[in-house]
């Protein structure tokens, strides 16, 4: 069964755009199937993406029409509204740990490809990197993330 989700990505003009994405055809899957990343790197990217989704770090694409959710100037919980549970907090901590392990300079390509679902080519363009540089840097980042998640 395909996992179709809505995502917000940066379009070619630099503006945010909403797209439908089949997670079974993610950029990471595409790279793995074509032998551009190893199984270990693929598993690391999938672990990172799962934590990103569990942490609910993506942009909301729906409006909450509940009148109790209207901004009031003070921060308060909405009765019956979503709250951050232990699982979500744990996922955020794992995500932060994995990103910290990847280190500065590697996080950008890692987040764009593994979490946001951008193609490698689109990520290279957005970061103003030369062609094929993203694959090398993404590989380094995924190796570090695999170490963080203890993937062998």
- Whether 27 and 34 have beta carbons less than 8 Å apart is answered as no
Task: Provide the β-strand partners of residue 9.
Answer: 17
3-class DSSP state for residue 5? strand
pLDDT at 76: 47
pLDDT at 16: 75
pLDDT one-digit tens code per residue, 76-130: 444 554 556 888 899 999 999 999 999 999 999 999 999 999 999 999 999 999 9
Long-range contacts of 57-66 (CB under 8 A, 24+ apart): 57/92, 57/95, 57/115, 58/7, 58/8, 58/115, 59/8, 59/16, 61/6, 61/8, 61/18
- Residue corresponding to tokens 């055809």: 25
Task: Specify whether the backbone of 132 is left (phi greater than 0), alpha (psi in -120 to 50) or beta.
Answer: left
Higher pLDDT, residue 103 or 16: 103
Task: Indicate the pLDDT class of residue 68, thresholds 50, 70 and 90.
Answer: low
pLDDT one-digit tens code per residue, 26-61: 899 889 888 899 999 999 999 999 999 888 876 555
Q: How many CA atoms, within 13 angstroms, populate the side-chain half-sphere of residue 84?
A: 9
Instruction: Say yes or no to pLDDT of 75 above 50.
Output: no
pLDDT at 1: 43
**Using CA atoms, how far apart are residues 123 and 112, in angstroms rounded to an integer?**
6
3-class DSSP state for residue 152? coil
Long-range contacts of 11-17 (CB under 8 A, 24+ apart): 16/59
pLDDT at 18: 76
- Whether 137 and 37 have beta carbons less than 8 Å apart is answered as no
- H or E element that contains 90: helix 86-102
pLDDT at 109: 96
């Amino acid at each position: 069964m395909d996992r179709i989700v809505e995502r917000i990505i940066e379009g070619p003009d630099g503006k945010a755009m909403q797209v439908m994405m089949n997670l079974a055809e993610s950029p990471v899957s595409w790279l793995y199937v074509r032998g551009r990343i190893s199984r270990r790197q693929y598993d690391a990217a999938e672990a990172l993406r799962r934590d990103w989704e569990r942490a609910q770090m993506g942009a909301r694409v729906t409006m909450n029409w509940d009148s109790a959710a209207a901004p009031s100037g003070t921060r308060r919980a909405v009765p019956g509204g979503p709250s951050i549970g232990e699982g979500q907090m744990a996922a955020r901590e794992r995500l932060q740990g994995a990103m910290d392990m990847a280190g500065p300079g590697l996080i950008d390509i890692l987040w764009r490809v593994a979490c946001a679902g951008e193609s490698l080519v689109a990520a290279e363009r957005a970061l103003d990197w030369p062609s094929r540089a993203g694959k090398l840097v993404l590989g380094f980042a995924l190796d570090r993330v695999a170490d963080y998640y203890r993937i062998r």
